[in-house]
Amino acid sequence: MKILVPVKRVVDYNIKVLVKSDGTGVETAGLKMSMNPFDEIAVEEAVRLREKGSATEVIAVSIGVQQAQDTLRTAMAMGADRSILVLSEESPEPLAVAKVLKAIVEKEKPDLVFLGKQAIDDDMNATGQMLAGLLGWGQGTFASKVEIVDGRAEVTREVDGGTETVSLSVPAIVTADLRLNEPRYASLPNIMKAKKKPLETIQATDLGVDMTRRLTTVSVAEPPTRKAGIKVGSVAELVEKLRNEAKVI
Amino acid sequence: MSEREAMEFDVVIVGGGPAGLAAAIRLRQLNPEANVCLIEKGSEIGAHIVSGAVIEPRALEELFPDWLERGAPLKTPVTEEEMYFLTEKKGFRIPALDRVMPHLANHGNYVVSLGDVCRWLAEQAEALGVEIYPGFAGAEVLIEKNRVVGVATGDMGITRDGEKGPNYQPGMELRAKYTLFAEGCRGSLTKQVMEHYNLRKGVDPQTYGLGIKEVWEIPAENHRPGLVVHSFGWPLDDKTYGGAWLYHFGENLVSYGFVTGLDYENTWLSPFDEMQRTKLHPVFRKHFEGGRRLIYGARALSEGGLQSIPRLTFPGGALLGDSAGFLNTPKIKGTHTAMKSGMLAAEAVIDAMKADRVEPAAYTSLVRQSWLYDELKSARNVRPAFARWGSKLGALYAGFDAMVLRGKAPWTLHFKHADNETLKPASLCTPIAYPKPDNKITFDKLSSVFLSNTNHEEDQPVHLKVRNMGLWKTVNWDVFRSPESRYCPAAVYEAVDTDTEARLVINSQNCVHCKTCDIKDPTQNIDWCTPEGAGGPNYPAGM
Ligand SMILES: Cc1cc2nc3c(=O)[nH]c(=O)nc-3n(C[C@H](O)[C@H](O)[C@H](O)COP(=O)(O)OP(=O)(O)OC[C@H]3O[C@@H](n4cnc5c(N)ncnc54)[C@H](O)[C@@H]3O)c2cc1C
Ligand SMILES: Cc1cc2nc3c(=O)[nH]c(=O)nc-3n(C[C@H](O)[C@H](O)[C@H](O)COP(=O)(O)OP(=O)(O)OC[C@H]3O[C@@H](n4cnc5c(N)ncnc54)[C@H](O)[C@@H]3O)c2cc1C
Ligand code: SF4
């Protein structure tokens, strides 16, 4: 079983982003970039499936600028066997990404595509579902547990009010949720070894995919700053304030 | 131990600041075959760099005569310069700056983000074949048969109680013929090496300053690219060394910060609050109006100069840059000297490698023959003059030294005390009333630390090791009333339960790796150790 893991290069989750002074987006120039945390979880799960013998090969793919190869090196340091960089402009839209992934899937013929449930930059939560639609494959989204049983993927999903388990015939799409696993560190020896693993680079345009932007950002604003809280002396005072000042009860 | 993997290199460099990167580049320029590995504890090169920074391009020019064509990020030449002596309400501009304080004359220099310069140097180094691994701290010096044979990175995935967690990964041994320590001011491995080889024997104690910095974006109409402002005097008392800087650079950016000499005496002093309140002085305030604060950070710097430089080499390696103390204090510049020292060390290492010598001892003589030594020699009496006679007389001495003696005084003033010995007991010090933050120009510590993007994986042993907690109570609390809760610029230390049984809480996740606690703790009871890889601030571009 072959697993394809798309990994996105995003602003590191430790960085507090700032809205550009003209309100057209957030400032990303010169910020530390890392692999989307949900994609780390997807890579980890794919590598564990290979280590358990359920999968034979893990291929990481990233669509974006040249520097996305650092993200792919990280995926390989975590255990992916090889990777593919599809060069395009920075942060393409989910539909374009799904179309590129479809082309890669047709070339590589994986049995599972393992994505993160969402990327922490745009929080779209769309790429996996769109890819499933384009390919006409089954999908197990928000996975908190994945098992390969008799050639089928059993995916436990986090849904409102509990979990749901679906059994998917392969090929299929799985998207990883936060509690699926705790990804390993890319250790220094593995980072050194990852430098020697194969990384193929192709142009998005060579895949015949239309990357035109369809979405328009109207405006981006910072959340309103919260006012400082106060300490109340007693329950009576709290009730009084809720009633007369906040007027919520 | 045996489960650790090991890798052999010709040279391992610890630290990716200007010193380490310049050394790496020079090594590959001199010998393209040498395999050179550089590790950096920041999550990427530049992530832990804090500097002013007005830099002299002298060493860069020697390293890459074509730096301009290569696109080095030195984009803002210094255009205007102002130096003020401040009183609470007024600022007196020092006339004829280039004659009275020639150290501070900045013609031909550039205002930069040193983090960005380091990122650029790292690109150049990688293009020359240097292997760079950010996100890995050197945690241990490997010494065999009294020779340094490399360093080991720390284990990852150790839990808070010191057990191996589910994600445990052992560290790695990076073994080398020569190991160069370029950890910057107060390096944690450098400290061990100095001790092991007794490298500080016969030299003055090192003295330090703490620099706390903010980067602001200001309205374009107020931006004067290349403007350089410095101040001394208020708000510090005459006995305390320090002052503010403010540089306009880049796209509407302002670098502002404040250095406090860590030989300060008043235990109530808070370097953070001195930095904040100085922004309110009329000389500075106008620069911030209508702007917004983008980044916050802090870092100690070595101020001892020539008298405090230890022996530079030992079997199997050398100390570079601010790890050795090559900063020119009156100039407040250490970038060009750090780079130069790295380049000279590289030459000595290539030389030693050819002759198969254990110690790259030629480094010391190369330093002595270079402009680096001349420069530090002529600057050597300025900082100790301030330590002895205070700010006003110190400044007069500095002017006399520059105009009359021209740095050639037949005497050398010495430092008598290490910075941890200078604090006075709380009962003998006057408390300082700092103004409350207005959240427009001045801010509190926690919202500031937030802008350093600092982070440490929570489940790991505390990397600030207090050797003896009992000593904290009897000395730090009973005598000095917890000076660490004031000097730490990241609100790591908190004295709690002060009405009953005072104890110390350490919020280690907040640490921005400035090293002040390792320096200033009265009994040297705190050891700053490297946290798990990639922990610490994530200073973005522009810092
Ligand atoms: C990369 C990433 C992406 C995520 N994306 C999403 C998403 O898109 N949608 C989603 O629903 N969830 C998402 N989550 C999960 C979500 O962020 C967390 O589950 C959620 O923030 C947890 O909230 P909490 O209140 O438990 O804790 P925290 O987030 O730790 O705390 C929230 C607030 O509580 C305060 N607080 C904490 N402890 C105390 C205390 N003891 N007393 C008083 N105040 C306290 C904190 O100051 C903070 O303001 C994501 C998580 C990660 C790591
Ligand atoms: C507030 C302030 C203002 C300054 N202003 C100026 C100025 O205007 N002009 C000027 O020329 N100079 C200025 N300096 C001085 C200048 O920044 C330093 O002299 C210079 O950065 C020293 O270079 P370095 O390479 O020796 O050390 P650093 O720049 O400190 O770099 C050391 C690097 O090593 C890393 N490191 C440390 N320990 C380890 C470890 N154990 N393992 C792995 N990595 C490690 C650190 O994370 C860091 O990236 C200023 C310094 C400060 C603090
Ligand atoms: S804990 Fe020490 S090193 Fe860390 S920020 Fe505070 S004073 Fe600096």
Q: Could you tell me if B14 and B127 lie in one domain?
A: yes
Does residue B30 sit within a domain? yes
Domain span including residue A135? 2-222
Q: Which residues contact B43 (CB under 8 A, 6 or more apart)?
A: A12, A14, A32, B134, B135, B534, B536, B538
> Which residue, judged by its Cα, is nearest atom 19 of ligand 2?
B334
Residues from chain B contacting residue A21 (CB–CB below 8 Å)? 217
The pTM of the full predicted model, rounded to 2 decimals, is 0.91
Single out the catalytic residue among B37, B118, B185, B511.
B511
pLDDT band at B462 (very low <50, low <70, confident <90, very high): very high
B270 neighbors B166 (Cβ within 8 angstroms): no
Q: Could you tell me if B128 and B104 lie in one domain?
A: no
- CATH number at B321 reads 3.50.50.60
Q: What is the distance between the alpha carbons of residues B277 and B279, in angstroms, rounded to a whole number?
A: 5
Decide if pLDDT at A30 tops 90.
no
Tell me the mean pLDDT in the region A20-37.
90
Q: Give B272-324 pLDDT, tens digit per residue.
A: 999 999 999 999 999 999 999 999 999 999 999 999 999 999 999 999 999 99
Work out which ligand 2 atom sits closest to the CA atom of B18. 25
If residue B40 lies in a helix (H) or strand (E), which one and from where to where? strand B36-40
Q: What is the pLDDT of residue B516?
A: 98
Does residue A132 sit within a domain? yes
Decide if pLDDT at B1 tops 50.
no
What is the torsion angle, in degrees rounded to the nearest 10, for the CA atoms of residue A106, residue A107, residue A109 and residue A113? -70
Which-ligand-closest: CA of B464? 3
Q: What is the pLDDT of residue B206?
A: 95
Q: Does the beta carbon of B114 sit less than 6 angstroms from any atom of ligand 2?
A: yes
C-alpha pair distances (Å), B489 with each of B182, B288, B506, B510, B511: 23, 21, 13, 10, 8
pLDDT band at B407 (very low <50, low <70, confident <90, very high): confident
DSSP string over B111-149: E--HHHHHHHHHHHHHHTT-EEEET--EEEEEEETTEEE
Q: What is the pLDDT of residue B534?
A: 85
Q: Which of B116, B217, B453 is facing A15, going by the closest CB pair?
A: B453
Nearest one of B455, B464, B453, B458 to B167, comparing CA atoms: B458
Tell me the mean pLDDT in the region A139-163.
94
Q: Could you tell me if B496 and B440 lie in one domain?
A: yes
Q: Could you tell me if B119 and B104 lie in one domain?
A: no
* Mean pLDDT for chain B overall: 94
Does residue A58 sit within a domain? yes
By percentage, how much of chain A surpasses pLDDT 90?
A: 79
Q: Could you tell me if B326 and B292 lie in one domain?
A: no
Nearest one of B132, B176, B180 to B6, comparing CA atoms: B176
Which of these three, B266, B299, B332, is where a domain ends?
B299
Going from the Cα of B491 to the center of ligand 3, the distance in angstroms, rounded, reads: 8
CB pairs under 8 A between A and B: 53
Q: Could you tell me if B373 and B442 lie in one domain?
A: no
- CATH number at A91 reads 3.40.50.620
Q: Could you tell me if B277 and B368 lie in one domain?
A: no
Contact between B157 and A185 using a beta-carbon 8 Å cutoff: yes
Does residue B510 sit within a domain? yes
Single out the catalytic residue among B302, B335, B448, B452.
B335
Q: What is the distance between the alpha carbons of residues A236 and B9, in angstroms, rounded to a whole number?
A: 70
Least confident of A77-86, A200-209, B268-277: A200-209
Decide if pLDDT at B2 tops 60.
no
Going from the Cα of B277 to the center of ligand 2, the distance in angstroms, rounded, reads: 25
Q: What is the distance between the alpha carbons of residues B117 and B17, in angstroms, rounded to a whole number?
A: 9
Nearest one of B231, B326, B341, B209 to B279, comparing CA atoms: B231
Going from the Cα of B149 to the center of ligand 3, the distance in angstroms, rounded, reads: 30
Does residue B293 sit within a domain? yes
Q: Give B117-164 pLDDT, tens digit per residue.
A: 999 999 999 999 999 999 999 999 999 999 999 999 999 999 999 999
Does residue B401 sit within a domain? no
Domain span including residue B456? 419-528
Q: Could you tell me if B290 and B314 lie in one domain?
A: no
- CATH number at B520 reads 3.30.70.20
B254 neighbors B246 (Cβ within 8 angstroms): yes
Decide if pLDDT at B182 tops 50.
yes
Q: Could you tell me if B60 and B174 lie in one domain?
A: yes
Nearest one of A132, A213, A204 to A170, comparing CA atoms: A132
- CATH number at B225 reads 3.30.9.90
Contact between B538 and A15 using a beta-carbon 8 Å cutoff: yes
Q: What is the pLDDT of residue B100?
A: 67
Q: What is the pLDDT of residue B432?
A: 97
Decide if pLDDT at B408 tops 90.
no
Tell me the mean pLDDT in the region B87-114.
84
DSSP string over B408-477: --S------S-GGG-PBPGGGS----PPPP-SSS---HHHHHHTTT-B--SSS--SEEES-HHHIIIIII
Q: Could you tell me if B428 and B514 lie in one domain?
A: yes
Q: Could you tell me if B242 and B175 lie in one domain?
A: no
pLDDT band at B409 (very low <50, low <70, confident <90, very high): confident
Counting Cα atoms < 13 Å in the Cβ hemisphere of A203 gives: 3
Q: For chain B, how many residues are written?
A: 543
* Domain tally, chain A: 1
Does residue B127 sit within a domain? yes
Does residue B535 sit within a domain? no
Does residue A193 sit within a domain? yes
Nearest-Cα distance to chain B for A116, in Å, is 20
pLDDT band at B336 (very low <50, low <70, confident <90, very high): very high
Does residue A237 sit within a domain? no
Does residue B334 sit within a domain? yes
Contact between B133 and A189 using a beta-carbon 8 Å cutoff: no
Q: What is the pLDDT of residue B43?
A: 95
Q: What is the pLDDT of residue A29?
A: 84
Q: What is the distance between the alpha carbons of residues B350 and B30, in angstroms, rounded to a whole number?
A: 7
Q: Could you tell me if B366 and B316 lie in one domain?
A: yes
* Domain tally, chain B: 3
If residue B342 lies in a helix (H) or strand (E), which one and from where to where? helix B335-355
Q: Give B339-394 pLDDT, tens digit per residue.
A: 999 999 999 999 999 999 999 999 999 999 999 999 999 888 888 887 778 877 77
Does residue B541 sit within a domain? no
Structural tokens at position A41: 């979880």
Tell me the mean pLDDT in the region A199-225.
91
